[in-house]
Amino acid sequence: MKYLNYDFIAPTHLHYLKSYRYKGTDQSLLYNYILSPLAELCLRFVPMNVAPNVLTLMGLACIILPHILYFFVMGDNFAGFIPNWLLWLTALLHMLYMVIYVFQEEFRQLGWEASKENKQQQNKCFQENSSPLGMILDHNFDSMIILLQGTSMTTAMQFGNTIFSVILYIIPSVPFYIIAHEEYYTHEMNLPIINAAAEGTISVAVVFAATAYYGCDMWVQKLPWFYNYQMNQFVMLMFIISVIITMPAVFQKIKKFTSITSLLKQLRYFFFFNTVILYSILFSKTNVIQDHVRAYMYTVGFTMSKAVGVVALNHVSNQNLPEYQNSIYIFLVILLNTISGQILGQTIIDEGYLIKFAATASFLIHLHFLYNIARQISEALNIKIFQINSTNK
């Protein structure tokens, strides 16, 4: 395995990991008055020997399971009849993921519930087990959930094997990636009274529940009061408008720490690979997305997940952000291949094979990143990844 090792954190920056402490607030009414009290109640039944990273994996598993089931039931068809049991199961597991997510927030901000006699001991245990690795994995897995649940959601909303399925994934990934930069520059994450982490996540469960109750056909019904747009197109438009409305406040926060020009320079890589994916779909000579929409979503999704992880990693280690990542070469090949098809009438490389290669490479690159940050941070802090680390009395 030593040949796979790569240190993403410079040796001179490893000492920042020991002093890192998560700082953030969530002003959401839903979070503070419903989800947080529910999580505190449930935490009483969670054994003390359950590590926070185990909870993170459990939350991810709640999304992976329906994702796999959708593949076996629907194959690569992103539209059509979906069994009600699968829709209800997806909604319930998504809510369970939400509760586990709040578990993690409570653990990160408050620590485990403890009696007055051992509160000091519990807080020490909390500090030692709420590592920067946990924060990176949490952000990284949350970005993966946008991808995995996005493939299920685009199927439920009947977008089919079209560019709209990819767009539906890109919409929430934009604010997620920019907010990761907000945390990098401000050194804290303060979520507003209405935010994607609480209300946005609940709305996803509502989509699956509503689809189960009213049927998949509800999404393709035309709305005569809105220019005969389909319901799914109208909802997508509302998603886009919500992003446009909320992002200026995030930019204002970041502007206090760096210029907007500098921020946009850091966002170039993200917008580049998303633009390349959309461009390659729009100008495909073989309508390749018809058979490979999953590969397109995996390519852009796993690339985005690693990009979020890199931002979080440089945040906890106090390093400068890279201008781009090596995955950019994959997208340059996709771009040049698409352009060759426009010029020559036929692409140099078969588009289907290329996007499947890109999806596989993006997944493996992401795994390589996760393996190395887990290895390097656990070694630097001398902690166990999926076990509670013992505390000296």
Segment 339-369, tens digit of pLDDT = 999 999 999 999 999 999 999 999 999 999 9
Indicate the pLDDT class of residue 109, thresholds 50, 70 and 90: low
Q: Who has greater pLDDT, 103 or 158?
A: 158
Dump pLDDT digits (tens) for 39-56: 777 777 777 777 777 888
Question: Percentage of the chain surpassing pLDDT 70?
Answer: 90
Q: Who has greater pLDDT, 265 or 32?
A: 265
Separation between Cα atoms, residue 356 and residue 298, nearest integer Å: 9
Separation between Cα atoms, residue 196 and residue 7, nearest integer Å: 32
* CA 347 vs CA 161, 164, 286: distances in Å: 21, 23, 9
Burial 311-339 (b: 16+ CB within 10 A, else e): bbbbbbbebebeeebebbebbebbbebbe
Indicate the pLDDT class of residue 122, thresholds 50, 70 and 90: very low
The whole-number average pLDDT for the span 197-213 is 90
Separation between Cα atoms, residue 91 and residue 73, nearest integer Å: 16
Q: Hey, CA dihedral for 343, 345, 346, 351, is it positive or negative?
A: positive
pLDDT at 1: 61
Strands 189-191 and 24-26, bridge-based pairing: parallel
Dump pLDDT digits (tens) for 124-178: 444 444 578 888 988 898 899 999 999 999 999 999 999 999 999 999 999 999 9
pLDDT at 129: 45
Is-contact 87 80, C-beta < 8 A?
A: no
Six token digits for residue 41? 């109640």
Return contacts of 2-9, CB within 8 angstroms, 24+ apart.
Answer: 4/368, 4/371, 4/372, 5/372, 5/375, 6/368, 6/372, 7/372, 7/376, 8/310, 8/313, 8/369, 8/372, 8/373, 8/376, 9/313, 9/317, 9/319, 9/373, 9/376, 9/377, 9/380
Largest CA distance in the chain: 76
Is-contact 203 183, C-beta < 8 A?
A: no
Indicate whether 65 pLDDT > 70.
yes
Q: Hey, CA dihedral for 209, 210, 212, 216, is it positive or negative?
A: negative
Indicate whether 123 pLDDT > 50.
no
Q: Who has greater pLDDT, 13 or 52?
A: 13
Six token digits for residue 299? 């390519």
| Mean pLDDT score across all residues of the chain | 87
State the amino acid at position 269 in one-letter form.
Y
Tell me if the pTM is above 0.85: yes
Q: Who has greater pLDDT, 113 or 277?
A: 277
The whole-number average pLDDT for the span 99-123 is 54
Nearest-10 crossing angle of helices 84-109, 52-74: 160
pLDDT at 180: 94
Contacts of 40 (CB under 8 A, 6+ apart): 106, 113
The whole-number average pLDDT for the span 111-115 is 39
pLDDT at 126: 43
Contacts of 167 (CB under 8 A, 6+ apart): 236, 278
pLDDT at 240: 94
Indicate whether 114 pLDDT > 60.
no
What are the structural domain ranges in the chain?
A: 2-6+25-381
Dump pLDDT digits (tens) for 235-294: 999 999 999 998 998 999 999 999 999 999 999 999 999 999 999 999 999 999 999 999
Indicate the pLDDT class of residue 388, thresholds 50, 70 and 90: low
pLDDT at 334: 97
pLDDT at 389: 59
pLDDT at 164: 95
